[in-house]
């Protein structure tokens, strides 16, 4: 056992500071917004009324403070279901009953979806295998109904163009999402078309791990993503529109936390 850590199973120090995310219980709130990009987390934290804690450890960047009277944490986890697994499990060692909302970007799969539209996930198809180390392959990765309803209400109230439905979570960006033409032929190049026929709305890289782990424990979780890629037309977002499009999903997530917090009082 490494000196200062509890064990090889529970890798935290004597103060409860988690090995990967670098946080203690005093540095996290029960309301947690996750995103992949550290720069996005920085922009979200700038909206807080006050920031009480900022912790950077490895790829995990966390800010905790107050937003419109709500205790709120935003964490950048980096990309992928494996990073998400570490973040969720270590955060859940620090918070008794957390609520998670993921704010991300995605590829749209349906004909009626445009770049910069939002997608609110009701569930996620687990194309990754990180979650299968915890649950049966048939276990449903579902969002919490309270979070879905609040995300929908926030998107409507803010007059956003949005879609609600099933997300697919891939373990990678290229082959795992059927991208061709890069010198590494994917095993299933028609995967986006297959998913579209199933009614899947979008593809991204984190949501199913978040939903699975939270469903196991009965914690609330949801996700809202901005469409950056239209896989049907093979178009990607204009770089000059990237931040504004990301901010659209952030607006919805923050308003959702306001609604959930008020309902929890």
Please say if 231 is a catalytic residue.
Answer: yes
225 in a structural domain: yes
Contact 32, 102 (CB under 8 A): no
15 in a structural domain: no
Average pLDDT rounded to a whole number, residues 56-78: 98
State pTM to two decimals: 0.96
155 in a structural domain: yes
2 in a structural domain: no
244 in a structural domain: yes
pLDDT for the residue numbered 5: 86
Per-residue pLDDT reduced to its tens digit, 73-119: 999 999 999 999 999 999 999 999 999 999 999 999 999 999 999 99
Average pLDDT rounded to a whole number, residues 33-47: 97
Write out the residue range of the structural domain in which residue 52 sits. 25-264
pLDDT above 70 as % of the chain: 99
Please say if 58 is a catalytic residue.
Answer: no
Contact 123, 105 (CB under 8 A): no
Tally of domains within the chain: 1
Please say if 90 is a catalytic residue.
Answer: yes
Q: Please report, for the chain, how many H helices and E strands are present, in that order.
A: 6, 11
Nearest to 200 by CA among 101, 108, 131: 108
Q: Which of 144, 163, 179, 220 is catalytic?
A: 179
Please say if 53 is a catalytic residue.
Answer: no
Q: Which of 90, 116, 204, 206 is catalytic?
A: 90
CATH number at residue 107: 3.40.50.1580
């Amino acid at each position: 056992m490494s000196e200062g850590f509890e064990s090889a199973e529970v890798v935290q120090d004597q103060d409860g500071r988690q090995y990967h995310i670098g946080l203690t219980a005093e540095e996290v709130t029960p309301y947690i917004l996750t995103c992949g990009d550290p720069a996005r987390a920085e922009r979200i934290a700038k909206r807080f009324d006050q920031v009480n804690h900022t912790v950077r450890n490895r790829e995990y960047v966390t800010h905790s403070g107050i937003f419109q009277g709500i205790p709120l944490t935003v964490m950048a986890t980096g990309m992928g279901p494996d990073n998400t697994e570490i973040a969720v499990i270590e955060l859940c060692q620090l918070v008794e009953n957390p609520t998670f909302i993921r704010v991300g970007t995605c590829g749209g799969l349906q004909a009626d979806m445009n770049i910069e539209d939002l997608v609110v996930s009701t569930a996620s198809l687990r194309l990754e295998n990180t979650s299968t180390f915890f649950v049966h392959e048939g276990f449903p990765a579902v969002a919490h109904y309270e979070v879905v309803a609040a995300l929908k209400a926030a998107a409507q109230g803010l007059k956003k163009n949005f879609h609600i439905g099933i997300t697919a979570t891939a373990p990678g960006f290229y082959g795992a999402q059927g991208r061709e033409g890069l010198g590494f032929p994917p095993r299933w190049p028609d995967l986006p078309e297959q998913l579209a026929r199933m009614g899947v709305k979008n593809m991204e890289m984190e949501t199913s791990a978040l939903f699975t782990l939270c469903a196991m424990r009965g914690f609330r979780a949801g996700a809202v993503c901005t469409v950056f890629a239209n896989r049907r037309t093979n178009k990607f977002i204009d770089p000059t529109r990237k931040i504004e499009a990301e901010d659209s999903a952030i607006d919805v997530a923050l308003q959702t936390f306001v609604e959930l917090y008020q309902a929890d009082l």
